[in-house]
Chain A
Amino acid sequence: MIQIRLLVYAFVVLLFPRSCERNTSETNAPGNTAGLTLPAGFSATIFADNLGSGRHIIVRNNGDVYLALRALKNGKGIVALRDKNSDGKADSIVYFANTPTTGIDIGGNYLYFSNFTEVYRVPFTQNKLVPSETPVIIAGGFPQQSQHNDKTFALDESGNLYVNVGAPSNSCTDPDRTPGTPGLDPCPQLEWHAGIWRFRSDLPGQDQKADGHRYASGIRNSVAIAWNTLNNKLYVVQHGRDQLAQLYPAMYSEQEGAELPAEEFFAVEDGDFFGWPYCYYDLTRKIKLLAPEYGGNKYAVDRCADAKNPIMAFPGHLAPNDLLFYTGNMFPEKYKNGAFIAFHGSWNRAPLPQEGYYVAFISFENGLPSGNMEIFANGFAGVDVITSPNNARYRPMGLGQGPDGSLYISDSEKGRVWNVTYKK
């Protein structure tokens, strides 16, 4: 009898500290990073997990978190998260909205969200987690398209809505992505695609063709789009074109195909043209070059001399999928008003290893980058070398700022949400 008791005791002693450790490592122990690599002083918790195919994320000023889901889960396209007992983990998780969503934002007392052809808004109902009214279409009539179909958007503080309409092709050839096919010139896709369209943010029932103002053009796809309230300007980060080496193997090596073209960070003004599909940006030579579909030879500039340059450029194919200007007070001074970018990670660097899969930070001064890009949060993929995107366990997708100044990061693969905090 005593022996059995001793055995049980030994068993409990052996087992329990370990299960305790495992518990705390998954929750709120100070200095814990929940599997991420972060700068000194930063911690992370898993705020919620397994939510679905996460896209953009937004936090209300009461701390409620809303995550867009690109594919319906339980028939719903948004998941609302509330941490009722303030332990850093969502304990109220409610799915709502009958459409898959990609973009999500808050303006005034309204939640704005978009699917692939419309932007909706719905008012919050007091302090309720889920809005009880029926969402209305603010802007619609966007083209159905099979690629670059996220209608991500930004809101300014003067009642305007800016919607990204991606290009329906790689580089405006017909057929698309086929070796030896010249680019259509002029590219007819620029009429209703590959740019930013502006609408009123408070007027229901607007249509892209009837009511939209083409604010900027020649942008292939800018899933990452944000309004900078400090200087009242729109910023986007573009997904550069794919497959230079596969489509033009005699002109570009595999290495060049992986590094070119750069992903470009744009400060956007009304009427700007950034060059797609005629031009791409060469990161090493720091210049816009003529695309091979339009007679480019890796050196010719031609009409690209007139395309507006980026304020910063990044290595090819990193897939910038969200942009956030940090206005909080929790993080150290250097982060104030700087830009966080979620790089979803490449697929188009094969056969070389894939890159990205991290959240980067860039300090800002007077509306322009004032330092190099630094990797802020890494380790999402869970492997050192990513040969194909499916090796990556998690992929950073959306960024949101909490009322306390903490940063929320969403994942597209399993629907994990991290909350990143800082303590001196």
Chain B
Amino acid sequence: MKMTLLFKAFLILAFPFILSGNIIYPHSITPDRKDLYKKYCLTCHQADGSGVSGMFPPLIKTPKVLGPADSLIMIIISGLKGPTEVAGVTYTQNMPAVKNITDQEIAEVLNFVRHNWGNKAASISAAEVARIRSKAEKKP
């Protein structure tokens, strides 16, 4: 009886975390990581993903963000040379490659970007990132 109560209490307390995916999540689902977005992306792409006019492109409903996971993963791994164009507007800045970031973290930060500000795109897994990374590294 005591055990079941304790277990119930645990479930109730842990429920928000299970939902948000911050602590407990099944291996097949990669969570969204706002903290990683803040660490790697926010300064340029801004808190609301709207970017900086003429400099850094927005991440809101843009083809690169919503498009194929492969090319999006590549941008994190190898960076992007400016100028780049989004919706007819030119953004001049280069994006540096993000170094010292794990495959799991790349998946997590991209999922945050792909699931926020009205973006709705398929989740990315660490395995996909690993596959793209090894492909990129094989290239001369």
* Chain A residues with a Cβ under 8 A of chain B: 70, 146-147, 149, 175-180, 242-243, 246, 347-348, 350-351, 387-391, 412-413
Contact = CB atoms under 8 A, between A and B. Distances in A.
19 contacts: A70-B54, A146-B93, A147-B93, A175-B96, A175-B97, A176-B94, A178-B97, A179-B100, A242-B43, A243-B43, A347-B56, A350-B42, A351-B47, A388-B47, A388-B52, A389-B46, A389-B50, A389-B52, A390-B46
Given A388-B48, A390-B51, 6 more contacts: A147-B93, A149-B92, A179-B99, A179-B100, A243-B43, A350-B46
Nearest to B43: A246
B94 A177 contact: yes
Contacts of A177: 94, 96
Given A246-B43, A347-B55, A387-B48, A180 B96 contact: no
B47 A175 contact: no
A350 B47 contact: yes
A388 B83 CA distance: 21
Given A350-B43, A350-B46, A146 B52 contact: no
Contacts, number: 62
B102 interface: no
B113 to A, nearest CB: 15
Interface of B: 38, 42-44, 46-48, 50-56, 58, 79, 82-83, 92-94, 96-97, 99-100
Contacts of A246: 43
A243 B99 CA distance: 16
A175 B46 contact: no
A413 B53 contact: yes
B46 A180 contact: no
Contacts of A146: 82-83, 92-94
Which of A146, A180, A242 has the most chain B CB within a 10 Å cutoff? A146
A351 B94 contact: no
Contacts of A149: 92
Which of B43, B44, B54 has the most chain A CB within a 10 Å cutoff? B43
Contacts of B93: 146-147
A111 B56 CA distance: 32
Contacts of A390: 46, 48, 50-53, 58
Contacts of B53: 389-390, 412-413
A180 B52 contact: no
A351 B92 contact: no
B48 A348 contact: no
Nearest to B48: A388
Contact of B47 (A70, A243, A387, A413): A387
Contacts of A242: 43
A149 B55 CA distance: 11
B46 A388 contact: yes
A387 B45 CA distance: 12
Contacts of A147: 55, 92-93
Contacts of B47: 350-351, 387-388
Contacts of B56: 347
A13 B109 CA distance: 58
Nearest to A347: B52
A350 to B, nearest CB: 6
Given A176-B94, A388-B48, A390-B53, A351 B42 contact: yes
Contacts of B43: 242-243, 246, 348, 350
A179 B100 CA distance: 10
Contacts of A176: 94, 96
Nearest to B52: A347
